[in-house]
Amino acid sequence: MHREEENMNESKYFLRLTERCHRLAMECTDPRTASHLTTLGDEFLNKAAQLSLKPVAESGSYSTNWQMATASWAL
């Protein structure tokens, strides 16, 4: 497997983790835990962007980053 393909597989993995964290954060009733989950999801999203070699802007909302990331990777 080429390194680029490995990066794409790893990127998809981090995107799935991002989605899980943000979904859990939306359902969580504890604000502190929800905030930590959101932060963790954002970190996973940034890692996926780094691995794909197509950087996603670090600033911006989750939905903006998610839309940009999913435009680059087919889940």
Token pair for residue 55?
């950087």
Is residue 75 scored above 70 in pLDDT?
A: no
HSE-up of residue 30 (Cα within 13 Å, Cβ side): 4
Task: Print burial letters for 6-40: b (CB count within 10 Å at least 16), e (below 16).
Answer: eebeebbebbebbbebbeebeeeeeeeebeebbeb
State pLDDT tens for residues 9-67: 888 999 999 999 999 999 999 999 999 999 999 999 999 988 876 544 444 555 555 55
Give residue limits of the domains in the chain: 3-72
Position with higher pLDDT, 28 vs 69: 28
The pTM is what? 0.63
Is residue 72 scored above 80 in pLDDT?
A: no
pLDDT at 9: 84
Position with higher pLDDT, 25 vs 72: 25
